[in-house]
Chain A
Amino acid sequence: MAIETPDNVVVTKLDELANWCRKNSLWPLPFATACCGIEFMATGASKYDIARFGAEAMRFSPRQADLLIVAGRVVMKMLPVLQRIWQQMHEPKWCISMGACASTGGVFDNYAVVQGIDRFIPVDVYIPGCPPRPEQVIQAVIDLQDKIQREGTIQGSEFEIAARQQTKRALVELPVYGRAGYLTKQI
């Protein structure tokens, strides 16, 4: 039986409607620890204007944000803070690792600097660069929007895909220096 719809009515799936809403109102939490943060400010300012992509509402409370943008190096004293912030954010939530330091540690390969935040929290999009240009940040937001539209479901089952977890776990299994029990080691 055919249903007559007026010309100004669009039929879609609920999942797609929810994803369309989510991807166009990303509220970022700028976790800015270094020069990438300055570049991210430029992204939010009028010349590059991240508001064109619906991500201009910067929130400094994790309870109000759904996109964590880690901009800059993260040291081992800061990492528990970052993890706590990630845990405090509500689903659905995403993470962008902005710049070489957040993604890999960059040039700071020393005892205090974490060599990539993806060892400890999930990351959706990586931005290369030192620091990345605002265009790259905007491209990352666009890529993330594509990803949300493609993968998102209204009940959030995309966050439990085993294959995706496997690829991320591979990063943790890299050899690290004397990992076992440093807390009990006598110096």
Chain B
Amino acid sequence: MPADPATLAALQSLLGDVATSEFRGDARALVDKNRLLDAMKLLKNERGFDLLVDVTCVDYVNYRDAAHRFGLVYLLANTETNERLTVRVYLDEPDLVVPSMCPLWAGANWFEREVYDMFGIQFEGHPDLRRILMPDEFTAFPLRKDYPLQGRGERHNFQRIARADA
């Protein structure tokens, strides 16, 4: 269901100039990183977006006409009205820090850990920002586009056990 115009109007009145767009019936709002927490508080507390569906990230390196390196994507839903909204935040190196959404939605915990694991985005205020998929000693962020598909040899950096050893 498309976003309520009142939701977008509330965002506009809070943040001033918010770029919004629509794609196949889904509304998107582009929020500045410094106002992200305010915008999310408004959306949750006053507009009833009680469900954080997903947090994910896009790496725009080498993407045509892209002005920013990373695009952080929050998918929100209001389970009372079925209203949905996509909130985007653009990030650039070296400042890859955004506020954590864990105080608002507890479900953000593992989403943000996954984004941290794969893209290296730091979430300020996250209670337990560790890698969730890759091993702890892994140092790269494998879903960044400048990371080679086959890795940098991490998958074969193990000791070999021969017949005689075991």
Contact = CB atoms under 8 A, between A and B. Distances in A.
Contacts of B67: none
A110 B150 CA distance: 4
Contact of B142 (A111, A178, A186): A111
Interface in A118-148: 119-122
Contacts of B152: 111, 177-178, 182, 185
Nearest to A113: B155
A178 B151 CA distance: 9
Nearest to B131: A77
Given A179-B156, A183-B157, A111 B149 contact: yes
Contacts of A113: 155
Interface residues of B, number: 29
Interface in B122-163: 133-135, 137, 139-142, 147-163
Contacts of B133: 77
A111 B147 contact: yes
Contacts of A180: 153
B66 interface: no
Contact of B166 (A80, A86, A178): A86
Interface of B: 120, 133-135, 137, 139-142, 147-166
8 contacts: A77-B134, A112-B134, A112-B142, A122-B162, A160-B163, A160-B164, A182-B153, A183-B137
